[in-house]
Amino acid sequence: MDSCLQPVDLFNELSVEDIESISIVPAEGNKPASLFHEPLIEAKSFPSLFLNGDHTYDAVRDDSISRCDYYKARIFSADPRFAANTSHIFVAKYAYECKKITFEHINKS
C-alpha cells in the first residue's frame, strides 16, 4: 500500500483529530460532518461509476467484507470503469488508510 504521495507510516504523521477534521460543507443550519461518516459518499462522489447509487461499500450485505477487499474487488473486477478511474483509486486508497489509522489509534489507546 506504499505510494509516492503519502509517507509509509501515516500513523506518525496524522492524528485522529486531523482525520476527523476533514469535513464536507453541510446544508444551512447543520453541523459539519466527517467525510467518511456521510452515507453513500462513494456513490455521490462518483455518479458515473455508481449509476443507481447502490452497491457501494456501505451497502447491506449478507456477508461482511473488509474495506481493503471491497476496493480490491472493485479495481480488479471485470468492469473496467473502476480500474480506469484514477480519481476513484486514489480516493479508495485514502479512505482505506484513514480508516486504518483511526482503527489503529483507537486500539492503541
User: pLDDT, tens digit, for every residue of 44-97?
Assistant: 888 899 888 888 888 888 998 888 899 899 999 998 999 999 999 988 888 888
Overall domain count for the chain: 1
Q: Quick one: pLDDT at residue 26?
A: 57
What is the domain extent for residue 89? 10-23+33-108
pTM of the shown model:
0.61
Contact 11, 105 (CB under 8 A): yes
Establish how many alpha carbons lie within 13 A of residue 78's alpha carbon, considering only the half-sphere containing its beta carbon. 0
Classify residue 28: in a domain, yes or no.
no
Note whether residue 4 is domain-resident. no
Q: Is residue 5 part of a domain?
A: no
Q: Do the Cβ atoms of 66 and 84 come closer than 8 Å? A: no
User: 23 - beta bridge partners?
Assistant: 34
What is the spatial distance between Cα 79 and Cα 87, in angstroms, rounded to a whole number?
A: 16
For residue 83, what is its C-alpha cell? 480500474
In a domain, 71, yes or no: yes
Residue with cell 486500539: 107
